[in-house]
Copies of this chain bind each other. A is one copy, B any other.
């Protein structure tokens, strides 16, 4: 897994904010590099490996998903949203670069995510960048489709809108699940599906991977809610206790700490069962990532 992480860091460092004008490139790199668990990229790469996907496509998809995640954090931290000053142990982007630059950096990161998925054709690209431009157009278009749908109004942005509308409200478990299915789940599940789209896969295997991604996405959020209560800001690298302070509904407020822990465990078991059902030869990396989501301390 360490070598895959290195690939992702190198890809991000090579592609993000290079030659961007004024302070924009600096703000983009600050938002993305040198931090983050890279869970989403690792999911893309593990799913692609499980289906024999194209490595060049998978690396681009892995970095693209991380850019969408990173942009959402930049915008989420802004004063008009969560107004947070600490992220990954560093001042948030708007604290470091100002709000206008943070807004633009987030916007540019989203555009860059899609740019990465559609490499220039060899006849358009500078010579040095040519080696990975032979990804089939159908794979490129499929990846764009999955990412756009995971990021947009029926995915991540939609979940954030529900979140915004829910502050101070009592949500049912169903409503809470629907919010998180979109807000964090769509991009995590999308990561798995994008990895699968880098290769060819039977419909039943794709469906099993989709279930794996959905269960893992929800488990991730439940653990997030638990950590917000039990961990301190130094361990989290972001402000702890924020949900309660903002009167946000969480799995802990709904189920209690023990109930939330049991729910996370059952979701992890669902994810593992889906992998077992997939019929894919080697799902060890995906399995390890599901374990990691449950056991993480930050």
The residues of A with any CB-CB pair to B shorter than 8 Å are 17, 19-25, 28, 71-72, 75, 78, 80-81, 98-101, 103-104, 106-108, 110-112, 114-115, 117-120, 136-138, 140-142, 144-145, 147-149, 151-155, 157-162, 164-165, 182
Contacts and interface: CB of A to CB of B under 8 A. Distances in A.
Contact of A22 (B101, B111, B115, B162): B162
Contact of A138 (B80, B100, B137): B137
Contacts of A142: 118, 137
A118 B144 contact: yes
Closest 9 A/B residue pairs (Cβ): A111-B152, A80-B99, A24-B161, A115-B148, A20-B153, A108-B157, A118-B145, A137-B138, A140-B141
A165 B101 CA distance: 10
Given A107-B110, A151-B111, A21 B81 contact: no
Given A137-B137, A137-B140, A144-B144, A115 B160 contact: no
Contacts of A153: 17, 20-21, 24-25, 28, 108, 111-112
Given A108-B153, A140-B137, A165 B118 contact: no
A80 to B, nearest CB: 4
A19 B162 CA distance: 13
A25 to B, nearest CB: 7
A196 to B, nearest CB: 14
Contacts of A25: 153
A160 B75 contact: no
Nearest to A80: B99
A197 to B, nearest CB: 12
A118 B148 contact: yes
A115 B100 CA distance: 26
B20 A158 contact: yes
A238 to B, nearest CB: 19
Nearest to A124: B145
16 contacts: A21-B159, A22-B165, A24-B157, A75-B103, A81-B100, A101-B161, A104-B157, A107-B157, A111-B157, A112-B152, A118-B145, A120-B145, A136-B137, A137-B137, A137-B138, A144-B144
Contacts of A138: 137
A104 B161 contact: yes
Q: Which of A71, A75, A101, A148 has the most CB of B within 10 A?
A: A148
B182 A108 contact: no
Contact of A161 (B20, B114, B140, B149): B20
Contacts of A157: 24, 104, 107-108, 111
A104 B164 contact: yes
B165 A108 contact: no
A137 B141 contact: yes
B141 A100 contact: no
A270 to B, nearest CB: 24
